[in-house]
Structure 1
Amino acid sequence: MRTSFKGLLCLSLALCASAAMAQAKLRAWNIHPDGYPVSEAMKSFVEQVSKSTGGRYNIELFNSGALGDQPKAVQMLKSGEIDVAEFSSGPLSDAVPGIKVLNLPFLFTDSAHMFRHLDGKLGERFSANLKSAGFVVLGWYDGGGRSFYCVKPVNNLRDLAGMNIRVQQSEVYIEMVKLMEAKPVALPFKDVLVALEQGKVDCAENNLPSYESTGHYKVAKNVYVTNHVISPEALVVSTKLWDKLSKEDKAAFAEAGAKSAILMRELWNKRVAAALEATTKQGSQFVKVKDVSPMVRRMGPLYGKYMADPTTREELLTIIAK
């Protein structure tokens, strides 16, 4: 049976077109459960990328840290095992030391203040530095304001003195608690509830949705609203993926990332309000700090350390100048 040249040419063109339309399968990671603001915003990102690229990118979203914890996910992103992820500022600051300033206490007055910087020149500088470290930032998410919650009532800074306070394994948080004349206890987040129940710690600190979703409010009903740390998180793609994208696809990913960041911030504010309502109904008592200046003065040695470090001085000066 003879096949005409014209037939072969048509077949070849059809195969090429089919290959061009083949989906690129990607994997996205985040540590939060289904329904959480981060997870919903990433879901929106996935859908927007698929729509904008005509379905050429099929991104499978893995929530709840299904592929591993955050340190492992960072390495997986850099190696190309995952392509998209949402990270807190902690692991990002390990890659780019200048970002450590974002974890300093009382640096931002609120999330709006933080995003004025991150959606502007400072965010551009952080993004450029992160790109050189293997992370391409598509959007800045809200990590929320952190406050203290304790088993016993806390009405002022003096009440925290001598208390055992659970903190992350972070030099900034450990030093912050020490400067408040309390005792930092570094524990994995999953162990906090039991530690509160057993009296191993008197207090912990975190954002309001975490306080509510973990059930910590059932034991530590006294919340001292300090918003001592307001920090961002970031939606990133690996530079390995980014470098493979066409100019048009890069634009599609960037647009989807920016839209997802706006959505996440809106969802976050709603989640905070819902957590406040739910915990108040369950008996949590909220005492808002009236004047943060005594706490800020206590942080002098911590600020001085970062001001003396050339890798963080410029970023710190940029933030406190506005």
Structure 2
Amino acid sequence: MRINRRTFLAGFAAMPLAMPALKRAQAATPVVAASLLGDDKPETLVWMHIRDQVERELPGRFAFNIVPNAALGGEKEVMEGVRLGSIQASLSTLSNLSAWAPQTQLFDLPFLFRDAAHLEAALEGTCGGDLSEKLALEGIVAPVFVNYGARHLLSREPLLAPDDVKGKRIRVIQSPLHAQLWESFGAHPIALPITETYNALSTGHVDTMDLTISAYAGFRLYEVAPQTTLTGHIHAAGAVVFSGRFWAGLDEEARSVLQKAAIEGARHFNALMAVDEKTSMKIARENGATFHEVAERTAWEGPARKVWESFAGQVGGMERIEAVAATACRA
């Protein structure tokens, strides 16, 4: 019998990490939820939504402490805290999670997804079905996936064609896939946490980077990188995550309520992101940003396609990649 995400997470407490279940009569269980962005951004609002839903189902059972503005560190630091149990919950891109589960890189392959619907169909289908199991083995419980939006190329000067990227110093996330992607265009990747990108761009330590429009506005990067080329080369997937140590210490009722709230929260997040992207683009334009459409998309896709072949062995083979590209992964 195939283990689905619901039965897998329900059985997580049977792992060696399990601790005695907390009683409802005890004091509220603290939940530190880390967010990289401010109170008005979907990354933070989603935790308010989850908190409120959980409180309706289990009044007084949990005490959420939602910490915004990357006060607990960048993505990598937060996920290390999640694995240790010092942080109980957060969102994370699959790019970041690839440090612990390389299979997540399947959803980071450039120019693999046509649009948000294509990405979400693949994540909900069989091609995304085993990612939660891989992550749980690393102490990360991921009951549901989210869509952060497409990543685009932003820079201090216009980069309108692939040749314009050659020789540029580009900030990348700490991922071999992202480094290789931009090396294929002749750029020089420099891995930096998102919290260091504003200074890196303002001082010229890097010339360019890629990011979603929502995060572009959220970190006010239009002030130091006012040119954005709408490449949409990666549709950034992520997950709602909980600490495995925290999760294993909960009773079945609490896990069920949190899982249900996370799934509903993911739908809420995706809707918020769609609205926030439009708002963020408007804010960026009002603050001097210029957005450039891609004239020759195939010119960008050619070099990027080589990344598929390089990472096929780590993500399940070219057949699986092609299945995702053809939307052949079904629930």
Given the two structures, how large is their TM-score scaled by the length of structure 2?
Answer: 0.82
| Residue 25, structure 1, aligned to residue 40, structure 2 | no
Distance 1:197 1:247 in 2: 50
Q: Residues 254-286 of structure 1, C-alpha deviation per residue, up to 9 Å, x if partnerless?
A: 111111111111111111111111222333222
Q: Residues 18-49 of structure 1, C-alpha deviation per residue, up to 9 Å, x if partnerless?
A: 97264333322232222210100111101111
Match of 2:207 among 194, 202, 209: 202
Aligned to 2:283: 278
Distance 1:251 1:53 in 2: 11
Q: Residues 96-141 of structure 1, C-alpha deviation per residue, up to 9 Å, x if partnerless?
A: 1111222221121222211111123233211122223222223322
Aligned to 1:142: 147
Higher helix proportion (structure 1 or 2): 1
| Residue 49, structure 1, aligned to residue 59, structure 2 | no
Match of 2:321 among 304, 316, 320: 316
SS in 1 for 2:249: coil
Q: State the AA in 1 paired with 2:197.
A: V
For the 8 Å contact 2:41–2:218, the answer to whether it is kept is: no
Aligned to 1:67: 72
CA 1:136–1:313 in 2, change beyond 3 Å: closer, same or farther?
A: farther
For the 8 Å contact 1:111–1:230, the answer to whether it is kept is: yes
CA 1:169–1:131 in 2, change beyond 3 Å: closer, same or farther?
A: closer
Match of 1:189 among 189, 194, 200: 194
For the 8 Å contact 1:141–1:265, the answer to whether it is kept is: yes
CA 1:238–1:315 in 2, change beyond 3 Å: closer, same or farther?
A: farther
Distance 1:76 1:193 in 2: 24
| Residue 121, structure 1, aligned to residue 162, structure 2 | no
Cα deviation for residue 202 of structure 1 reads: 2.8
For the 8 Å contact 1:98–1:315, the answer to whether it is kept is: no
Distance 1:101 1:133 in 2: 18
Structure 1 regions of 5+ residues with no counterpart? 1-17
Q: State the AA in 1 paired with 2:201.
A: L
CA 1:218–1:141 in 2, change beyond 3 Å: closer, same or farther?
A: same
Which protein is bigger by CA-based radius of gyration? 1
Aligned Cα root-mean-square deviation (Å): 2.4
SS in 1 for 2:157: coil
SS in 1 for 2:127: helix
Aligned to 1:9: none
Cα deviation for residue 315 of structure 1 reads: 4.8
Given the two structures, how large is their TM-score scaled by the length of structure 1?
Answer: 0.85
SS in 1 for 2:235: strand
CA 1:278–1:73 in 2, change beyond 3 Å: closer, same or farther?
A: closer
For the 8 Å contact 1:99–1:312, the answer to whether it is kept is: no
| Residue 220, structure 1, aligned to residue 236, structure 2 | no
CA 1:54–1:310 in 2, change beyond 3 Å: closer, same or farther?
A: closer
Percent pairwise identity = 24
Aligned length: 305
Cα deviation for residue 147 of structure 1 reads: 0.9
Distance 1:246 1:236 in 2: 18
CA 1:221–1:310 in 2, change beyond 3 Å: closer, same or farther?
A: closer
Structure 2 regions of 5+ residues with no counterpart? 1-22
Worse overlay, 133-142 or 304-313 = 304-313
Aligned to 2:268: 263
Distance 1:284 1:26 in 2: 38
Cα deviation for residue 82 of structure 1 reads: 2.7
Cα deviation for residue 317 of structure 1 reads: 4.0
Q: State the AA in 2 paired with 1:52.
A: E
Deviating beyond 6 angstroms after TM superposition, the runs of 4 or more aligned structure 1 residues are: none
Q: State the AA in 2 paired with 1:49.
A: V
Q: Residues 33-71 of structure 1, C-alpha deviation per residue, up to 9 Å, x if partnerless?
A: 222101001111011112111322222222233334433
Distance 1:262 1:61 in 2: 19
Distance 2:265 2:225 in 1: 33
| Residue 239, structure 1, aligned to residue 244, structure 2 | yes
Aligned to 1:303: 308
SS in 2 for 1:55: coil
SS in 2 for 1:124: coil
Distance 2:35 2:196 in 1: 20
CA 1:256–1:309 in 2, change beyond 3 Å: closer, same or farther?
A: closer
Worse overlay, 134-143 or 20-29 = 20-29
Match of 1:157 among 159, 162, 165: 162
Distance 1:193 1:133 in 2: 31
CA 1:86–1:314 in 2, change beyond 3 Å: closer, same or farther?
A: farther
Higher relative contact order (CA 8 A, sep 6+): 2
